[in-house]
Amino acid sequence: MNTVLTSLLVIFFAFAILFIIFKSNGPGVGKGTGRSIKRGASSHVNIDGSDKKKYATIELASAAAARQGAREHSNFAAYRCSQCNGFHVGHTR
């Protein structure tokens, strides 16, 4: 009986660890790595997986990047998205 219980606990913890890794978008992917402009096709989404705000023109996106950069004291830039063909704002790391 102890062997069966131990085996079930091992299986449970293995699935729990896999679930945590899956929900965090894989090992090593966290807030520090982000989905910045340099990540290409992934730049359509935010760090939490939600779609980024789409701007119709580069001018609107550039103005939003300037506002966000001033607000957060960081560097942001506007770029064309290869997935939706709109414009988004992202960090310029």
Task: Judge whether residue 60 has pLDDT over 90.
Answer: yes
Q: Are 83 and 45 in contact (CB under 8 A)?
A: no
User: Where residue 7 falls among pLDDT bands split at 50, 70, 90?
Assistant: confident
User: Where residue 27 falls among pLDDT bands split at 50, 70, 90?
Assistant: very low
Q: Are 39 and 75 in contact (CB under 8 A)?
A: no
Quickly count: other Cβ atoms within 10 Å of residue 47's Cβ.
14
Cα–chain center distance at 17: 21
Measured between its terminal Cα atoms, the distance across the chain in Å is 55
Please tell me which residue, 86 or 8, carries the higher pLDDT value.
Answer: 86
